[in-house]
């Protein structure tokens, strides 16, 4: 038997209905804030991620699925979405459109990393990007849209943590200070952090190894090296969020795992998954598009880990997305199948989920099948019913049955 690739999974019904419900809700909420969906390629040139995400990041150095195509070009299965949005912005001349530009995306991403709860090598993200504004209000809008979406899903215990990375000029001063403070402890750092020491020292702050986390606990927070302008920006974001009733917690050593972030960075943590498991992360990236050869365009966005989101989805949202119970159409007379299929089309156009019995089951077997499906009603089409232009409508929960004219069937089945 051929099995799925390690780190991937099959999302089966009814869980697939949860996914569809969450994604539809995301597009509904984000479009209400003005974000239109952009659909990006799964395959991108490898250089896009090396130049944007950062050659010294774990994503680029250890986690990307990279290969050569038949012409020898290096291609990569996308590990994240923002770089692709930036590439699309430049390539399609999106700067000619009214600014700021609001974009939403969703779909599979790929990273070769150790699997754990809520983490897979093929995983899905839902994200938004706001391009063309450098104001604190843009940051606030993005976080507000995220907060609204999570609230609509029923979350009330998630924690938003926020930090100030400063600007790239601030970062060089901070890296020098960080290495000075870590120097006496360098030999105690893990193997990955030994490599990061020269390639990307800021990533040491992002290490999940307990001994490394203990060492960096006494280092100067990155925000303390930020310029006055950067501090004023992030302070304004926090203040305006508070005015909107959105509480954030400062996380002085939050750096995120992508090199393009500056100033505002944030994460959403689920108490159920634990402090070290991030449900969503994002931040500001004012120089990314210019670094990729485009114009100077500021931006901010986030990406939600959809696998993790659905794992901790509140019960009310689960019930809402899975709550629609089907109507079963049970043809048991000669020629009734065609009538049943026509009725199914009418019900589908009315937004009513209907399933037709198409294997030739008897009335008794068909009712058992409908019960196993959890159907809310069964429409029985027998000889007597068809002769009268009616259907026998059985309400499964109440155990009651009535005769309904076929032209009134849709009305009788509206929840």
Mean pLDDT by 10 residues, the chain (415 residues): 94 94 97 98 95 80 91 96 97 96 97 81 97 98 97 91 91 84 84 80 80 84 89 96 94 82 93 76 96 96 95 92 92 94 94 94 95 95 94 94 94 87
Token output for 136: 């604190």
Q: What angle do CA 310, 281, 198 make, to 5 degrees?
A: 130
Q: What is the pLDDT of residue 216?
A: 82
Q: What is the pLDDT of residue 309?
A: 94
pLDDT tens digits along 296-354: 999 999 999 999 999 999 999 999 999 889 999 999 999 999 999 999 999 999 999 99
Token output for 189: 């750092």
Q: Which residues contact 227 (CB under 8 A, 6 or more apart)?
A: 166, 167, 169, 170
Question: What is the layout of strands, in order, in the sheet containing 65-68?
Answer: 43-45, 74-77, 65-68
Of 7, 20, 15, 21, nearest to 79 by C-alpha is: 7
Contact by Cβ (8 Å): 377, 413: yes
Handedness of CA 400, 405, 410, 415 (dihedral sign): negative
Chain centre distance of CA 403: 46
Q: Which residues contact 108 (CB under 8 A, 6 or more apart)?
A: 42, 122, 123, 124
Task: Please state which of the four CATH numbers 1.20.140.10, 1.10.600.10, 3.30.930.10, 3.40.710.10 is assigned to the domain occupying 15-167+226-318.
Answer: 3.30.930.10
Residue 124 pairs in a beta bridge with 108
Contact by Cβ (8 Å): 327, 376: yes
DSSP letter string, 176-222: HHHHHHHGGGGGGS-HHHHHHHHH-GGGGGG---HHHHHHHTTSPPG
Task: Write down the domain spans for the chain.
Answer: 15-167+226-318, 324-413
CATH architecture of 324-413: 3-Layer(aba) Sandwich (3.40)
Q: What is the pLDDT of residue 87?
A: 97
């Amino acid at each position: 038997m051929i099995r799925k690739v390690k780190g991937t999974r099959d999302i089966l019904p009814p869980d697939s209905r949860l996914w569809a419900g969450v994604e539809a809700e995301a597009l509904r909420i984000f479009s209400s804030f003005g974000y239109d969906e952009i659909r990006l390629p799964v395959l991108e040139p490898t250089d896009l991620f090396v130049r944007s995400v950062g050659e010294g990041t774990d994503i680029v150095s250890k986690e990307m699925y990279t290969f050569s195509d038949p012409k020898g070009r290096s291609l990569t299965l996308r590990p994240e979405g923002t770089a692709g949005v930036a590439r699309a912005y430049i390539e399609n001349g999106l700067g000619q459109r009214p600014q700021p530009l609001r974009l939403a995306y969703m779909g599979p991403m790929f990273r070769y990393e150790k699997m754990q709860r809520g983490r897979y090598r093929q995983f899905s993200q839902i994200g938004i990007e706001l391009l063309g504004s450098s104001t604190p209000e843009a940051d606030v809008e993005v976080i507000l849209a995220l907060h609204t979406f999570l609230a609509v899903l029923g979350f009330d215990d998630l924690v938003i943590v926020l930090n100030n990375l400063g600007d790239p000029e601030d970062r060089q001063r901070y890296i020098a200070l960080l290495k000075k403070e870590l120097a006496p402890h360098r030999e105690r750092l893990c193997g990955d952090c030994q490599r990061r020491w020269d390639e990307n020292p800021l990533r040491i702050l992002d290490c999940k190894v307990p001994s490394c986390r203990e060492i960096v606990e006494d280092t100067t927070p990155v925000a303390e090296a930020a310029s006055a302008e950067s501090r004023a920006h992030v302070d304004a974001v926090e203040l305006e969020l508070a005015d909107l009733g959105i509480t954030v917690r400062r996380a002085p050593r939050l750096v995120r795992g992508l090199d393009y972030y500056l100033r505002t960075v944030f994460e959403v943590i689920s108490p159920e998954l634990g402090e070290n498991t991030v449900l969503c992360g994002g931040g500001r990236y004012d120089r990314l598009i210019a670094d990729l050869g485009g114009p100077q365009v500021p931006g901010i966005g986030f990406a939600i880990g959809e696998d993790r989101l659905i794992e901790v989805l509140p019960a009310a949202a689960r019930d809402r997305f899975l709550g629609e119970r089907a109507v079963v159409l049970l043809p048991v007379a000669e020629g009734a199948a065609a009538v049943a299929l026509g009725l199914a089309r009418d019900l589908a156009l009315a937004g009513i989920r209907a399933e037709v019995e198409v294997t030739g089951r008897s009335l008794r077997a068909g009712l058992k099948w409908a019960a196993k499906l959890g159907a809310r009603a069964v429409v029985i089409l027998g000889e007597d019913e068809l002769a009268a232009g009616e259907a026998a409508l059985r309400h499964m929960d109440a155990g009651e049955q009535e005769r309904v004219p076929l032209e009134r069937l849709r009305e009788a089945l509206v929840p």
